[in-house]
Structure 1
Amino acid sequence: MLLLYELVVYISVCLLAVTGGGRAAPAIAEVRLTFTPGPCSNDTLRWNRKTRMLEICNGIEWVGVSGCSKLKGSKSFPGASCKDIQQQGVEENGIYWIQPPGSNFPFQAYCDMQTDGGGWMLLYAYKHRKGTKYDLVTALPTSPDGYSHQLLNNMGISTGWTQELRFYCTTSHHNRVVHFKTNNRNIIQTAYDGKKHFSVSDCSSKQTEKLTGHTAHLPDATSHIWGGNHQTVGFTEFPFYRGGTYHWGIAPRYSRFECDDYANNYNYDTLHRVFVRD
């Protein structure tokens, strides 16, 4: 039995190549296309998730229908945020083009469209391999297994745009997982300028929400935040920790990468991520 699928495509002013005849589409229109799955054959339509383009088969190969799709997340039609794109029904994690308020140009960002409702933009991603030591990198990570971070101020994003932060880390040193989110404005401000704004009380259970998979002592166990030498480094080094016991640490200059543990775990694999959502 051959199944039929229906796809809704939003289009801008262009020629409807899929209908022929050179008919002009309205400025904003909704076109419903019914097509069948299967190999490439004449006039078969498909949606290519990787290229985010509608494609038509010319009998030999799939050809993109350029200029006729208006689905947010492309360079020519960026979303205002990962959440904006996700709210259109996009469910696949990956790299999308976005242009938040205040930003002068669109840029590519990694979006988590599935966790805790989706719509999260990756801001920090440090996958540390045991026994290695590399300096931190200032750049927006485009992979959840990347090695870089960026501040929102550097991206021209308007203050107040971010509504939530999500923290995640794991280590091969133990099985505990840090996974929580917060809408605390003091912690969020640090994502903008990298400076010290929050206190120990901002990391309490009243200010944070544990998410799926969270088994760690942090952030509830937090008894200290940055010392005097760590007040302009964002969420790297040791922004929140319990002294000599449980640390969030991204600090190659101290030969330490820590996730709910303490020093001497430099020779373990670690992964730290921070996401933002508007």
Structure 2
Amino acid sequence: MKQSIVFLLLLQIVTVVAQTSTNSAGNGTYTNTSSWTSPSNLTGTNTIENGHTITIPSNINQVYSNKIIFSDNGKLVLSGSNSKWVPATSMNPTPPSESFSFQTNWSASSSWVNESFGAAHYTPWIDSYQGWSAGSTNNGTDYLQYDLKSPRWLQGIVTQGRANAAQWVTNAKVEVSTDNINWSTAASSLTLNTDSNTKKYTNFPNVMYGRYVRVTPNLNGVYGHASMRLGVLLRDDIFKSCNEIKTNFPNATDGVYVIDPDGTAGATPATACYCDMTTDGGGWTLVLNYLHLGGTNPLLVEKSNTLPLLGSTTLGVDEQASATTWGHVTPAYLTKFNFTELRFYGKTSLHTRVIHFKTFNANTISYFKTGTGSMIGIATSFTSLTGHSAFLPASTAHYISDQGTIAMTNFPMYLSGTYHWGIRGGGARWEVDDFLNSYTYNTYHQIWIR
């Protein structure tokens, strides 16, 4: 698995030294003339041809593979001080898992009575109130698919049957892909559930590398109906931030991920987060998100062990009732994250100016982490990003300080009587580069960390 896996890494993130090496039709042989077409031999014998050096970058700690043949002076270089080659049969005894209830993570070949995502027969995530049910009882081709949003080392799947009926998958084929086009079989026949609700953790024969995981119930591999709830088992500990994900997997895309801000050894639990992997090089983790409907003055939500996720981005949408997209983190929780940059974004229906900038300003970072101090210095310590047209933060001359859990929201930067950043500031003012507009207008505020 190692070298083909290594080569998949090469396609995604790895520099090929000396000559361009490609996988000849997935046969595990690396030459400078053949074309890689399919990850069909991820776990078998792999050959690095004479004259070729495959280099794994220093940010990759370990790669998984089985047998590698080095032809003459073919070489594999693990450049990191902690890099190592691990047998593909080496499994994590306590693997982290992922199964989010967000539509962009899921796709299915069919669902019962063609129900849309989130309806009863298409609620495929682990511990959902029902599950996914295929359009046919069992035809051997219907499948459920999950998108991890970036290629990862995968170890297996966790499954349940349908929560409210005696229906489950007893045996299935599982495939993985890095591109949703070329597929590799992780297991042709996995033994799965024997009841509706017990979580069945099932490893693949070998660690795999992929972004997409597709599960197809086999013919005669269902009880009652092809119904299931699905999660993916990851081989390695999850990352601490979106920036770590982006660093390790540069092709990662925008979306919902799972991160553990203080690592598996820390007391803080893992959490879902929204990662912007595009703006200014990507790697941004969302920590404040308020899409506010004009004419309303809802309460803020302070999050002490979860992060707000991205919902709509359209002014006029009211997200105040959303438990997942509405809110901001507390200073105590923010201290669990390691970051050196903040990014601000804001717009309003009152005018067309947009706030969009990033900053390394130490005062601002300290203020948001502790609730003590202020954003002093921000006026001369920022970089404008795409679309920025606001007077803030350059016009900032005043700061409300020592605001504790509302440090991000209660006028942390403003020019008196002119331009303000306020999210229910003073108890009722929702302002984006303007002044004394109460809660009349639609507003949108975001803060990201990296």
- Per the shorter chain, which TM-score range? 0.7 to 0.9
1:89 aligned partner: 250
Take 2:251 and 2:358, find their aligned partners in 1: how far apart are those partners? 22
Shift of 1:148: 0.4
Shift of 1:55: 2.3
- Consecutive unaligned residues of structure 2, counting only runs of 5 or more, are 1-35, 44-61, 66-86, 92-108, 110-140, 143-171, 181-209, 220-225, 313-324
- Consecutive unaligned residues of structure 1, counting only runs of 5 or more, are 14-23, 29-38
Residue 345 of structure 2 is aligned to residue 168 of structure 1: yes
Map 1:73-152 onto structure 2 (within 5 A).
77-87=237-247, 88-101=249-262, 103-104=266-267, 105-139=269-303, 140-145=307-312, 146-152=325-331
Q: 1:78 to 1:198 in 2, by over 3 A?
A: same
Residue 219 of structure 2 is aligned to residue 55 of structure 1: no
**Superposition TM-score, scaled by structure 1 size:** 0.73
Q: Is the 8 A contact 1:53 1:65 kept in 2?
A: no
Shift of 1:27: 3.2
Give the aligned residue type for 2:274. Answer: Y
Cα root mean square deviation, aligned:
3.6
Q: Greater CA radius of gyration, 1 or 2?
A: 2
SS of aligned partner of 1:204? helix
Could you list the per-position Cα deviations for residues 92-118 of structure 1 after superposition, in whole angstroms to 9, with x for gaps in the alignment?
222211112374231211111111111
SS of aligned partner of 1:251? strand
Could you list the per-position Cα deviations for residues 156-214 of structure 1 after superposition, in whole angstroms to 9, with x for gaps in the alignment?
616xx211000000001000000000111111112212222431xx1123x10000110
1:187 aligned partner: 364
Greater displacement, 39-48 / 263-272: 39-48
Shift of 1:66: 5.4
SS of aligned partner of 1:127? strand
Q: Is the 8 A contact 2:346 2:446 kept in 1?
A: yes
% identical equivalent positions: 33
Shift of 1:143: 2.2
Q: Is the 8 A contact 2:302 2:405 kept in 1?
A: no
Q: Is the 8 A contact 2:256 2:272 kept in 1?
A: yes
Q: 1:134 to 1:26 in 2, by over 3 A?
A: same
Give the aligned residue type for 2:412. Answer: P
Shift of 1:4: 4.0
2:389 aligned partner: 215
SS of aligned partner of 2:309? coil
Take 1:133 and 1:236, find their aligned partners in 2: how far apart are those partners? 14
Q: 1:6 to 1:216 in 2, by over 3 A?
A: farther
2:399 aligned partner: 225
Could you list the per-position Cα deviations for residues 13-51 of structure 1 after superposition, in whole angstroms to 9, with x for gaps in the alignment?
9xxxxxxxxxx83438xxxxxxxxxx8599784449999
Could you list the per-position Cα deviations for residues 206-265 of structure 1 after superposition, in whole angstroms to 9, with x for gaps in the alignment?
x1000011011100000111167x466211110000111111011265321000011125
Q: 1:196 to 1:233 in 2, by over 3 A?
A: farther
Shift of 1:53: 4.9
Q: Is the 8 A contact 1:169 1:179 kept in 2?
A: yes
Take 1:5 and 1:180, find their aligned partners in 2: how far apart are those partners? 42
Take 1:144 and 1:132, find their aligned partners in 2: how far apart are those partners? 19
Residue 355 of structure 2 is aligned to residue 178 of structure 1: yes
Give the aligned residue type for 2:279. Answer: T
Greater relative CO, 1 or 2 (CA 8 Å, sep 6+): 1
